[in-house]
Amino acid sequence: MNGDPSDALTEYFGSTTAHATASVKALIYLRVSTARQATKNGEAEGYSIPAQREACLRKARELGAEAIEEYVDAGASARSADRASLQRMLARVREGDISYVIVHKLDRLARSRIDDAEIATIFAVAGTTLVSASEQIDDSPSGSLLHGIMATIAEHYSKNLSHEAKKGMAEKVRRGGTNGVAPLGYLNVTQRVNGIEVRTVEIDPERAPHVVWAYEQYATGDWSISSLRDALEERGFKSRTTAKLVGKPLNSSQVHRLLTKSYYKGMLLFKGVLYEGAHQPLIDEATWQQVQDILANRRIAGDRSWRHQHYLKGSLQCARCGGRMGYGTAKGRAGTTTTSSASAGTRDAPTATCRT
């Protein structure tokens, strides 16, 4: 079951599909909520998707239908209908020649009553029947009643799960724990304490020294964001390599965000409130605050050194509007032109742009 899904269709139907009525066509829709489920234990499709596929194909045989196409959303939440494979399947249903759409359970298709009603409307217009491999969902009166009940239960489950997850996140932060992926300089790890798995964070020996160096250097006031970015790249500081992304040097915006994270001084920011974290700080309070002061002062002075360099930038004022002069370049057919512009000093004053 780890090969091409189309091979699985042939494998499960075998000779049965050859006897299926040509006009009785079915589509199969499979979904798992997280990418982790989709690739569990290193399997190409984890365990859940093949199990759903087998149940749906078995149901298709019972209906005497031929499953002509399969649609899989791996790692997609059912709280929204904006799922690539689901939308492709609905477009196929609209063509009007599909007798059944088979799912393993109703909540694989939708966990919102609004989305469920919209999908049901598309099926009704196209003359397609929704069938669940594990629930008595069909177009009979009792099936429609059960469908409505199950859709309501699925929505309640989804909302309650979200509510409980948020409560758990808030409690974890209050205890000093880190929610989600730790920032660069730290690693998410799982430890066993008295036989119990505990998720925590540890200092990343590869990236932490770069973070410390960046704070110490910027705190001197001798570096701009762009020059610090270039120096970090020369030092070999890169983002993490993940299953989807290859680690690469940070850009200016990422360096700026790195310099503003209170996490590095041991604090957790959650919903606008700071909590003391249980992780080991990389930066002391004095250095962190010095960096924030420099960033704030440069914002006030009009300095945007992480964008464009000029020795007079932020020091001159426009004689017409009183705004601080900025610096930039404009590219056109005539080549690159250097421009200086002033942010208006008063509300009614126009923005001045001077070509040099």
pLDDT at 225: 93
Place of tokens 């930038």: 313
pLDDT in tens, 58-97: 999 999 999 999 999 876 565 566 788 999 999 999 998 9
Is the distance from CB of 12 to CB of 57 less than 8 angstroms?
yes
Tokens of 37: 């489920």
The Cα 104–Cα 133 span in angstroms is 5
What pLDDT shows up at residue 312? Answer: 67
Beta carbons within 8 Å of 83's beta carbon, 6+ residues apart: 31, 73, 76
Alpha carbon distance 270, 97 (integer Å)? 51
Helices (H), 184-324: 208-218, 225-235, 252-258, 285-300
* pLDDT at residue 27 in the model: 95
CATH of domain 201-300: 3.90.1750.20
Task: At 143, give phi and psi (nearest 5°).
Answer: -65, -40
DSSP state letter for 11: H
Low-confidence ranges of the chain (pLDDT < 70): 1-22, 34-47, 75-81, 138-139, 143, 147-148, 154, 156-158, 161-162, 300-315, 320-356
Helix or strand (DSSP H, E) at 155: helix 141-174
pLDDT at position 106, please? 82
d(CA 155, CA 159): 6
Give the model's pLDDT for residue 207.
95
| Token pair belonging to 287 | 């250095």
Which helix (DSSP H) or strand (DSSP E) does residue 100 occupy? strand 100-103
Q: How many Å apart are CA 99 and CA 101, to the nearest integer?
A: 7
What is the spatial distance between Cα 319 and Cα 216, in angstroms, rounded to a whole number?
38
Longest dimension (CA), the chain: 87
Inter-residue contact 289 to 212 (CB < 8 Å): no
Instruction: Give residue 168's pLDDT.
Output: 75
Residues 6+ apart with CB under 8 A from 112: 78, 79, 80, 81, 155, 158
CB within 8 A of 315, min separation 6: which ones?
Answer: 325
**What is residue 46's predicted lDDT score, i.e. its pLDDT?**
41
Fold of domain 5-161: Rossmann fold (3.40.50)
**135-155 pLDDT, tens digit each:** 877 667 776 777 667 777 767
Work out the burial of residue 106: count CB atoms within 10 Å of its CB; fewer than 13 is exposed, 13-18 middle, 19 or more buried: buried
Segments making up each domain of the chain, as ranges: 5-161, 201-300, 308-356
- Given a contact cutoff of 8 angstroms between Cβ atoms, the answer to whether 181 and 261 are in contact is no
